[in-house]
Structure 1
């Protein structure tokens, strides 16, 4: 299961807005140093106005999982066109809802 979610996690960084939004649980919360705590609606709005990442590497990966929840922790290195390389320590909590995996929580701490 974790291998599938590592692919989903990478895809979340790189996917278009509609695909990224589809992965978010209705009660999703995200925390960013630059934007604070955001609910699902705020995350979707931010995705619509921000350029998407062109590449991302997920290193130092760790995970814990149950049948219904999986927490991913990693060091992300990401790039956008015309911007400096972004590096952050991240956690994402995925939850299984009606058989589909959705992002319940995501947090980034820039390093």
Structure 2
């Protein structure tokens, strides 16, 4: 998907409620990369609970951390 297509999937008001994040791990393969692993729990806008294991990767570019990877694996 292009950046424009991804941005179009985000709708106003479709936000998580009562978000809780528990860090599970941090890996720094090099001085300018980092991968966070965490468990996220929240409620959807309709009140339905949601939980996922999440990994997010970052790269440092021009002195700033930029997200370069993100994935979620929903939990039952």
Q: TM-score normalised by the shorter chain: which range applies?
A: 0.7 to 0.9
Instruction: Please give the TM-score of this superposition, normalised by the length of structure 1.
Output: 0.56
Tell whether the 8 Å contact from 2:23 to 2:36 is kept in structure 1 after alignment: no
Alignment of 1:60-99 (within 5 A): 60-65=23-28, 66-99=30-63
Counterpart in the other structure of 1:47 = 10
Segments of 5+ residues of structure 2 without an aligned counterpart are: none
SS in 1 for 2:73: strand
Q: SS state of the match for residue 46, structure 2? A: coil
More strand by share: 2
TM-score (norm 2): 0.77
Asked if 1:58 is matched to 2:21, the reply is yes
Long gaps (5+) in structure 1: 1-37
Q: Which has the larger radius of gyration?
A: 2
Q: How many correspondences in the alignment?
A: 74
